[in-house]
């Protein structure tokens, strides 16, 4: 029996199905992805993008890309641009231009005036630490601000003065007048506006008051006529406030739905923390291939398809869990195994001389481009008297079940011949400098006509025709499953997360590689040209992922 996992259905689609059934939103589905442009997006955001845009696709609805740009101190155009690129790269589209919370500042201001007129908001002179101190705790009620009972007209006048720039940063706030005894701390007269004389990346110096997240977010959703406002679980406690603002204003009121955020082991996932890695130079910028950013994953060799597949596989839940990063790596292997062209590359070469092969002869052999896909065809590779194999594919004193090359043993060279090792040549330091072998001309293509079997198959590159490239092998950026478990995550950085290999020997066809194409180097992993540092004169390949999850066995 075939069990097909339905990764398209979850508790959120169940809510939407019910809403469509009752025609709650006239069978409309309109979601949004609302990043704050204060850093580059990471794999957690990718989860949210796949969910929000995916739901819109599933129901023939819409999904807005909306920048939640309400904090001028941290937001920059560079981040806006990268976010747009990342969402597009993942393969999602939105109608018209991206939207910005800052487009609605005027309208939000008008709504604030309305709340003041209702007697539901007041200007408060308490400093931010006083507001915090008087908020109370889960056990103790908060203390009412002495400014709570200002008249509507005084509040209107002060709020307009706030906007006009008559006060210094932090001198006053606008607060919602809800309930300082409320069991939910978010409902204890939350701040709606703060004064910040700072230049905004879009509105410049037009504003010196900026809306707080909870006040702004529901209004953004309402203005855009969002139906289902999907956010992560930590906003569950903010939902009563989301609802209170929209109910008080009696405006269009989307439904907020919370799901568990994606956490990955060996990974940190907050823009603020990732920015620290960038600013302190621990990584090569936001798109360092070890970063969990979308741009890092892209440069590492991840595909949009693998990320979407991963996002579907982990599903949507209401319970916080930590997903094994090996799952993400597996999603990439699964995608690439089906379509990555195979080539041969020797990362740590040692020369093999085939003593009975004619001097000067170069033979052309056929190599399969992808055993998983017949239509990928074959390519020509050249074979000659001298070839390179991987240094660790030879052992002088092999253990019992060693099936690679050793003295007197026969192995298969992929697509070529069987060879038998006859002699090991060493330099004056006793290091192996060359291996001598004989080949069996009757095994062309890697098959014997007498039915004799060999257990080992090695990849190789002809020493008469090859190109050289540098290779970057990546390991996890952090040593611990939870990099923050024992303090500062920077102390948990893995010093061996990048290993550089100079002068690997590769098949010549790779001289035409493009950074869009990902190759399987037989037996060593999936590799992609580094989009930033590679040049015609100095090819650099990144290993996206190894062929198998050997890490799991070694390190857990
Ligand atoms: P960060 O702390 O990394 O900046 P954030 O939640 O503050 O994360 P936003 O830019 O506000 O970042 O997030 C945009 C959207 O992405 C939000 O809807 C948020 O809930 C979602 N999101 C952020 N991180 C994750 C995650 N780890 N898993 C799923 N969704 C996430
Ligand atoms: Mg944030």
Ligand 1 centroid to Cα of residue 555, in Å, is 30
Residue 161 lies in a domain: yes
**Three-state SS at 211:** strand
The CA 346 to ligand 2 mean position distance, Å, reads 44
Q: Are residues 170 and 43 in the same domain?
A: yes
Residues 299 and 418 occupy one common structural domain: no
pLDDT, one tens digit per residue, over 227-270 is 999 999 999 999 999 999 999 999 999 999 999 999 999 999 99
Q: Whose CA is nearest to atom 22 of ligand 1?
A: 45
Give catalytic residues, as residue numbers.
Answer: 36, 261, 271
Residue 164 lies in a domain: yes
**Looking at residues 101-121, what average pLDDT do you find?**
98
Kindly report, residue by residue over 304-336, the tens digit of the pLDDT: 999 999 999 999 999 999 999 999 999 999 999
Residues 48 and 192 in one domain: yes
Classify 325 as helix, strand or coil: helix
Q: Give the DSSP letter of residue 101.
A: G
| Atom 4 of ligand 1, residue of closest alpha carbon | 271
The predicted structure's pLDDT at residue 95: 82
| Residue 253 and residue 393 in one domain | no
CA–CA distance, 46 with 43 (Å, rounded to integer): 5
Whether residues 301 and 426 fall in one domain: no
Both tokens of 353, joined, read: 């001389």
Lowest-confidence pick of 5-14, 343-352, 486-495: 5-14
Per-residue model confidence as pLDDT tens digits over 454-509: 999 999 999 999 999 999 999 999 999 999 998 999 999 999 999 999 999 999 99
Please list every protein residue whose CB sits less than 6 Å from any atom of ligand 1.
Answer: 34-36, 44-45, 47-48, 68, 231-232, 261-262, 269-271
In a domain, 2, yes or no: no
**261 Cα nearest atom in ligand 1:** 28
Do 420 and 382 fall into the same domain?
yes
Identify each DSSP E strand in 165-285 by its residue range: 173-176, 191-195, 209-211, 228-232, 255-259
Positive or negative, the CA dihedral 282, 286, 291, 296 is: negative
Residue 153 domain flag:
yes
Residue nearest to atom 16 of ligand 1 (CA): 45
Q: Which atom of ligand 1 is nearest to the CA of 52?
A: 18
**Residue 534 phi, psi (nearest 5):** -75, 140
Q: What is the CATH number of the domain that holds 431?
A: 2.40.240.10
Question: How far is ligand 1, taken at its centre, from the CA of residue 440, in Å?
Answer: 60
356 φ/ψ angles, rounded to the nearest 5 degrees: -95, 10
My answer on whether 125 and 248 are in the same domain is: yes
Ligand 2 midpoint to CA 74 (Å): 10
Angstrom distance (rounded) from CA 409 to CA 420: 5
Residue 357: pLDDT over 80:
yes
- Does residue 336 share a domain with residue 278? yes
Mutate to test the pocket of ligand 1, among 31, 38, 45 (most ligand atoms within 8 A of CB): 45
Kindly report the protein residue whose alpha carbon is nearest to atom 13 of ligand 1: 35
Q: Give the mean pLDDT of 337-343.
A: 95
Which ligand is located closest to the Cα atom of residue 234? 1
Q: Which of 361 and 553 is assigned the larger pLDDT? A: 361
Last residue of a domain, one of 237, 259, 281: 259
Domain coverage including residue 535: 271-341+469-554
Q: Which residue has the higher pLDDT, 3 or 60?
A: 60
State whether 152 and 166 are in the same domain.
yes
**190 assigned to some structural domain:** yes
> How far is it between the farthest Cα atoms of the chain?
102
Q: Name the residue among 66, 176, 170, 158 with its Cα closest to residue 112.
A: 176
Of the residues 399, 428, 459, which one is the last residue of a structural domain? 459
Instruction: With a cut of 80, say whether residue 93 has pLDDT above it.
Output: yes
Q: How many domains does the chain have?
A: 3
Cα 271 to Cα 295: distance, rounded to the nearest angstrom: 13
Give mean pLDDT, residues 287-306. 98
**Beta strands 173-176 and 191-195, pairing class:** antiparallel
Average pLDDT over residues 346-351: 98
Cα-Cα-Cα-Cα torsion 391, 395, 396, 400, nearest 10 degrees, comes to: 180
pLDDT at residue 549 greater than cutoff 80: no
Both 441 and 540 in one domain: the answer is no
C-alpha span between 343 and 506 (Å, rounded): 8
- Using the atom order of ligand 1, give the atom closest to the CA of residue 270: 3
H or E segment and range at residue 183: none
d(CA 271, CA 279): 12
- 412 to each of 86, 116, 458, how far by Cα in Å? 44, 82, 6
Cβ atoms 40, 166 nearer than 8 A: no
CA distance 526 to 297: 13
Judge whether 204 lies within some domain.
yes
Please tell me whether the overall predicted TM-score, pTM, comes out greater than 0.85 for this model. Answer: yes
Give the pLDDT of residue 552: 54
Alpha-carbon distance 156 to 165, whole Å? 15
pLDDT level of residue 516 (50, 70, 90 thresholds): confident
Kindly state the DSSP code that residue 483 receives in the 8-state scheme: T
Name the closest-CA residue to atom 27, ligand 1. Answer: 44
Same domain, 254 and 285: no
Ligand 1 atom, smallest distance to 262 CA: 28
How confident is the prediction for the chain on average, in pLDDT? Answer: 95
Strand ranges, E, within 298-357: 342-343, 345-346, 349-354
Task: Work out the pLDDT band at 550, boundaries 50, 70, 90.
Answer: low
Tell me, what's the pLDDT at 8? 74
Instruction: Flag whether 1 is in a domain.
Output: no
* Chain centroid offset of residue 130 CA: 39
What was the pLDDT predicted at 451?
86
3-state DSSP assignment of residue 473: strand
Provide the CB-side half-sphere exposure for 48 (13 A, CA): 28
Domain assignment present for residue 523? The answer is yes
Identify whether residues 49 and 132 lie together within a single domain: yes
Query: Which of 459, 490, 524 corresponds to the end of one domain?
Result: 459
pLDDT digits (tens, 9 = 90+) for 213-231: 999 999 999 999 999 999 9
Q: Is 153 helix (H, G, I), strand (E, B) or coil?
A: helix
Q: Measure 478 CA to ligand 2 centroid, in angstroms.
A: 22
């Amino acid at each position: 029996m075939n069990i097909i996992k339905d990764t398209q259905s979850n508790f959120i689609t169940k809510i939407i199905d019910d809403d469509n059934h009752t025609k709650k939103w006239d069978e409309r589905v309109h979601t949004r992805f609302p990043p704050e442009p204060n850093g580059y997006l990471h794999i957690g955001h990718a989860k949210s993008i796949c969910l929000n845009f995916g739901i819109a696709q599933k129901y023939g609805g819409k999904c807005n890309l909306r920048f939640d740009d309400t904090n001028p101190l941290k937001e920059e155009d560079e981040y806006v641009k990268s976010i747009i690129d990342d969402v597009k790269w993942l393969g999602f589209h939105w109608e018209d231009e991206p939207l910005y919370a800052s487009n609605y500042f005027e309208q939000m201001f008008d709504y604030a005036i309305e709340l003041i007129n209702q007697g539901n908001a007041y200007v408060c002179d308490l400093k931010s630490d006083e507001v915090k101190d008087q908020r109370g705790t889960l056990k103790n009620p908060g203390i009412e601000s002495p400014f709570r009972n200002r008249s509507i007209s005084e509040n209107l006048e002060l709020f307009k003065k706030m906007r006009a720039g008559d006060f210094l940063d932090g001198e006053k706030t606008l607060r919602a007048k809800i309930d300082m005894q409320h069991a939910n701390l978010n409902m204890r007269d939350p701040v709606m506006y703060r004064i910040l004389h700072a230049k905004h990346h879009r509105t410049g110096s037009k504003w010196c008051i900026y809306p707080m997240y909870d006040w702004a977010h529901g209004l953004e959703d309402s203005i855009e006529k969002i139906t289902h406002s999907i956010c992560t679980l930590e906003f569950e406690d903010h939902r009563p406030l989301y609802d209170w603002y929209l109910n008080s204003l009696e405006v269009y009121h989307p439904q907020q739905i919370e799901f568990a955020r994606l956490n990955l082991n060996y990974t940190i996932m907050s823009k603020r923390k990732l920015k620290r890695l960038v600013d302190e130079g621990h990584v090569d910028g936001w798109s360092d291939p070890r970063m969990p950013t979308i741009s890092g994953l892209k440069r590492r060799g991840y595909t949009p398809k693998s990320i979407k597949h991963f996002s579907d596989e982990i599903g949507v839940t209401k319970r916080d869990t930590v997903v094994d990063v090996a799952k993400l790596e597996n999603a990439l292997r699964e995608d690439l195994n089906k379509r990555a062209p195979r080539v041969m590359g020797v990362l740590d070469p040692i020369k093999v001389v085939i003593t009975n092969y004619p001097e000067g002869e170069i033979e052309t052999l056929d190599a399969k481009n992808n055993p998983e896909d017949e239509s990928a065809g074959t390519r020509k590779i050249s074979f000659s008297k001298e070839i390179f194999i991987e240094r660790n594919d030879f052992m002088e004193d092999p253990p019992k079940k060693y099936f690679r090359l050793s003295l007197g043993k026969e192995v298969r060279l992929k697509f070529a011949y069987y060879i038998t090792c006859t002699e090991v040549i060493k330099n004056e330091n006793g290091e192996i400098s060359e291996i001598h072998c004989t080949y069996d001309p009757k095994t062309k293509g890697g098959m014997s006509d007498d039915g004799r079997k060999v257990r080992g198959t090695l990849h190789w590159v002809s020493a008469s025709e090859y190109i050289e490239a540098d290779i970057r092998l990546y390991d996890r950026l952090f040593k611990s499953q939870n990099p923050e478990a024992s303090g500062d995550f920077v102390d948990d950085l893995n010093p061996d997360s990048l290993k550089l290999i100079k002068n690997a020997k590769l098949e010549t066809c790779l001289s035409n590689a493009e950074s869009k194409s990902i190759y399987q180097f037989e037996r060593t992993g999936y590799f992609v040209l580094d989009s930033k540092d590679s040049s015609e004169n100095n090819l650099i390949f990144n290993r996206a992922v190894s062929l198998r999850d050997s890490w799991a066995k070694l390190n857990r």
